[in-house]
């Protein structure tokens, strides 16, 4: 029998894809740092039984129409806004993501960003390395406290709950907003559910962890930033497009909020001369939420396992389910 063909859109370590090489013909885009060009992806998709994709690959109708043999798309991310799930489902193509294995790692990073923004860690690290430190002084690089403050989590899924747990360790009061109530988080960390407007008004730190959907796209507008405290820090570890970046820039420039910690951007990679990156009040990271060696290996492993299961005719571990009314 002809072996199935699996295309992987980025160079991954051979030992990570071994389980697939044993059952399929596996080809990879040869570069680790650069995305697979669209024309290559389209060409490979035509023959592929399975695709292992990155969040930077657009799996849209054009691609899905070209992919006549495709049975499964395994996305190396928990988010899957890069995939037209509805259209894939209409073609009986299974979509898989990598939840759970990255939850704590991503929560750690969200908290690191929160702390870095509050305590000006990146600015201070640059300060000493650039030889600007001429001596200790009382208010030098003074930031703001996290402990005993209020954190407002927008998007209380697994990662949001894991951030709440960390916040509890810092004696923070935890507020949250979500599509639906999260009773588990309410019990485990005494998180209090609020509507978005009240959450924004009461939080010292607003942390966005919601998936990008039609409902959350451009959720954070100038008016939303205006509803926040002028001392508030906004942290985004979900997707850039939940924010109107021009509005965030304006809110920061006008002092409507005090700062931002951003791991994600509307266009990735963001241009180095983007005005947001010029602001001292912005702590920016290049989308590294789940980036630890351990977790990335677990994610690759899960992606490969899911593909192998589907190719054998079994149910994958972590299939994305199409919910009514949702993308
Ligand atoms: C990263 O952003 C992910 O969705 O896993
Ligand atoms: C991730 O698994 C989430 O639901 O936030």
Query: What ligand has the least distance to the C-alpha of 238?
Result: 1
Per-residue pLDDT tens digits for 21-62: 999 999 999 988 899 999 999 999 999 999 999 999 999 999
Indicate the pTM of the whole model: 0.95
pLDDT at residue 191 greater than cutoff 90:
yes
Q: Is 289 in the pocket of ligand 1 (CB under 6 A)?
A: yes
Residue 254 CA to ligand 1 centre (angstroms)? 31
Query: What ligand has the least distance to the C-alpha of 159?
Result: 2
Angstrom distance (rounded) from CA 289 to CA 106: 5
Q: Is 55 in the pocket of ligand 1 (CB under 6 A)?
A: yes
Angstrom distance (rounded) from CA 97 to CA 296: 13
Around ligand 2, the residues with Cβ closer than 6 Å are 78, 99, 103, 157-160, 209
CA distances from 241 to 172, 245, 265, 320 (A): 28, 8, 7, 21
Residue 148 CA to ligand 2 centre (angstroms)? 26
Angstrom distance (rounded) from CA 119 to CA 113: 10
Q: Is 290 in the pocket of ligand 1 (CB under 6 A)?
A: yes
pLDDT of residue 64: 98
Positions annotated as catalytic residues are 239, 268, 287
- Residue 239 CA, closest ligand 1 atom number: 2
Nearest CA to ligand 2 atom 2: 99
Angstrom distance (rounded) from CA 9 to CA 275: 31
Task: Give the neighbor-by-neighbor strand order of the sheet with 150-154.
Answer: 192-193, 173-177, 150-154, 205-208, 233-236, 259-262, 282-284
Query: 90: which residues sit within 8 A by CB, 6+ positions away?
Result: none
Which residues partner with 192 through β-bridges?
Answer: 175
Per-residue pLDDT tens digits for 226-245: 999 999 999 999 999 999 99
Cis peptide before 152 (omega within 30 of 0): no
Paired tokens of 30: 């040869």
The gap between the terminal CA atoms of the chain, to the nearest Å, is: 36
Per-residue pLDDT tens digits for 251-282: 999 999 999 999 999 999 999 999 999 999 99
Residue 224 CA to ligand 2 centre (angstroms)? 24
Percent of the chain predicted with pLDDT > 70: 99
Domains of the chain: 5-101+293-311 (3.40.50.720), 103-284 (3.40.50.720)
Quickly state the pLDDT bin for 324 (edges 50, 70, 90): low
- How many CA atoms lie within 13 Å of 248's alpha carbon, on the beta-carbon side? 27
Q: Is 79 in the pocket of ligand 1 (CB under 6 A)?
A: yes
């Amino acid at each position: 029998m002809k072996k199935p063909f699996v295309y992987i859109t980025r160079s991954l370590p051979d030992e990570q894809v071994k389980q697939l090489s044993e059952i399929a013909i596996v080809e990879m885009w040869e570069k680790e740092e650069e995305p697979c060009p669209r024309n290559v992806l389209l060409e490979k998709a035509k023959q592929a039984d399975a695709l292992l994709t990155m969040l930077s690959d657009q799996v849209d109708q054009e691609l899905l129409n070209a992919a006549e043999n495709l049975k499964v798309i395994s996305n190396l991310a928990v988010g899957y806004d890069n995939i037209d799930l509805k259209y894939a489902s209409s073609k009986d193509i299974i979509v898989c993501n990598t939840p759970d294995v990255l939850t704590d790692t991503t929560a750690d990073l969200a908290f690191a960003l929160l702390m870095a923004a509050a305590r000006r860690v990146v600015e201070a690290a640059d300060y000493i390395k650039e030889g600007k430190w001429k001596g200790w002084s009382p208010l030098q690089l003074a930031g703001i406290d996290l402990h005993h403050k209020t954190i407002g989590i927008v998007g209380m899924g697994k990662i949001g709950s894991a951030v709440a747990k960390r916040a509890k360790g810092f004696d923070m009061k935890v507020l949250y907003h979500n599509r639906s109530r999260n009773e588990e988080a309410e019990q485990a960390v005494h998180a209090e559910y609020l509507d978005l407007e009240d959450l924004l008004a009461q939080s010292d730190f607003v942390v966005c962890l919601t998936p990008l959907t039609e409902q959350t796209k451009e959720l954070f507008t100038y008016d939303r930033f205006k509803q926040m405290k002028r001392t508030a820090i906004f942290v985004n570890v979900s997707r850039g497009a939940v924010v109107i970046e021009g509005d965030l820039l304006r809110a920061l420039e006008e002092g409507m909020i005090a700062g931002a910690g951003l791991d994600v951007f509307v266009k990735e990679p963001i241009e180095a001369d983007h005005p947001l990156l010029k602001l001292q009040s912005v702590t920016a990271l290049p989308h590294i939420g789940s980036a630890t060696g351990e977790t990335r290996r677990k994610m690759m492993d899960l992606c490969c396992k899911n593909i192998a299961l589907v190719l054998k005719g079994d149910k994958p571990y972590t299939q994305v389910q199409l919910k009514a009314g949702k993308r």
